[in-house]
Chains A and B, each alone.
Chain A
Amino acid sequence: MKKMSLPNQLLLGLLFGVIFGFLLQKGGVAKYHVLLGSLLLEDFTVMKVMLTAIIVGSVGIFSLHAFNLVKLDIKPTRYAANIIGGLVFGVGFGLLGYCPGTGAAALGQGNWDVVGGIVGLLLGSYLFAEFSKVFSKTINKWGDRGQLTLPELIPMERTKFLLIWLPLLTVSLFAIHWIAVR
């Protein structure tokens, strides 16, 4: 990790965002019909982009980590919050047709219907903050497992796990490539 001052980090965030948005648009995932097509299980572009990013990113991050160049940033596993929040998010995904990242890309591309979604994202975020104290004492505690990873769950040594897991993800990607029309 390079140490940089805050203004530089803000500029870097902006630069990474420009690249991210450029890639999302070129990947077609700023398009309403591509995202809806993925949820209708008729267009697998989203799954192809995500799986490839996961495989390449996984190899990359764990390689950098092996050389002590990066710190991992693992989100906590909270079964109830992950499942309930995940399902509520999913309903929103279907209704809006964009997600927070691809929604920003859709705005840049000129899909003005996402403006309704952005207003909703702001309201929903504030609404959650209203409940954040209650949730921290209830849902967040149900099935709270901390920074749990898949190899720890089995349990298995991480490198060994990756040597099985990454080929498995790659085979899934090939399967999607051969079965899916797009």
Chain B
Amino acid sequence: MTPYQLMDAALMFGVPSFAVAAQPGTDPLAYAGPAWSPYIVGALIGLLSMATFYFSAKALGASSAYAALAGMLGRVVAPKHTDSLKYYQDHPPIVDWGLMLVAGTVVGAFLAAWQGNELTNEWLPSMWAARFGDDSLPLRLTAALMGGICMAFGARLAGGCTSGHGISGTLQLSVGSWIAVICFFIGGIVTAMLMYRV
């Protein structure tokens, strides 16, 4: 095949020529996209953030809920030690607005997936299986565990996550939030490219 034919083929499949998928099945565009327009969803999340500011005096954010839950579990296992930690002295681990928000997020996503016939009930994402094999569940869970540890540690250090910094912070023009969200994507892009495109 000539390079031009390759480019034609890439365009035919709707893939930009600089991003030809390395293996069949690892092209994210080969799988179903969003059920609703991302612009409608984004606009509604923008309105939702207005509502949380107005009715609850809170900004949308998810990562601190995991810290609160970890602190509650820490209090069960090692109460004295947990209470001695600076973070938990500054942020006592309790069932608060933020934890309820994340609990609600699980329920809301279930309702949306159920209503739209998009419940997956799967252990291995298809795109992961196409890259790492159908028997790669132990690897997947290890990567998810390590990823979760890095993510929570990074979120607490940076002061928020993709919601807290990425939406709530950026929309209020916080310099730190814009820096953080750019770094989220730099770290994520490098890692994802190494995992899927090398």
Contacts and interface: CB of A to CB of B under 8 A. Distances in A.
A118 B147 CA distance: 10
Nearest to B67: A125
A98 to B, nearest CB: 8
B188 to A, nearest CB: 4
A126 B149 CA distance: 9
Interface residues of B, number: 141
A53 B16 contact: no
B110 to A, nearest CB: 4
Nearest to A45: B38
Contacts of B58: 13, 73
A169 to B, nearest CB: 9
Contact of A85 (B73, B95, B157): B157
Given A90-B190, A110-B119, A105 B109 contact: yes
Contact of B123 (A84, A108, A112, A135): A112
Given A100-B161, A139-B157, A82 B180 contact: yes
A96 B147 contact: yes
Interface in B183-198: 183-197
Interface in B86-103: 86-88, 90, 95-103
B183 A83 contact: yes
Chain B contact surface mostly: helix
Contacts of A81: 157-159
B86 A93 contact: no
Interface residues of A, number: 129
B193 A40 contact: yes
B62 A100 contact: yes
A21 B70 contact: no
Contact of A95 (B14, B48, B144, B189): B144
A160 interface: no
Nearest to B156: A128
A66 interface: no
A10 B109 contact: no
Given A2-B55, A52-B38, A128-B153, A95 B147 contact: yes
Contact of A117 (B35, B88, B148): B148
A53 B104 contact: no
Contacts of B186: 86-87, 90
B105 A21 contact: yes
Contacts of A103: 62, 148
Contact of B188 (A19, A24, A93): A93
Nearest to B191: A94
Interface string A9-32: 111111111111111111111111
9 contacts: A17-B101, A27-B36, A53-B49, A75-B159, A75-B164, A85-B156, A85-B183, A101-B60, A124-B148
Interface of A: 1-2, 4, 9-34, 36-37, 39-43, 45, 48-61, 64, 69-79, 81-97, 99-130, 132-133, 135-136, 139, 145, 147-151, 153, 158, 161, 165, 181-182
Given A20-B108, A104-B106, A148-B175, 17 more contacts: A13-B100, A22-B112, A27-B36, A39-B189, A50-B167, A81-B159, A88-B150, A89-B155, A92-B148, A101-B102, A102-B162, A109-B113, A122-B73, A125-B69, A129-B86, A181-B14, A182-B33
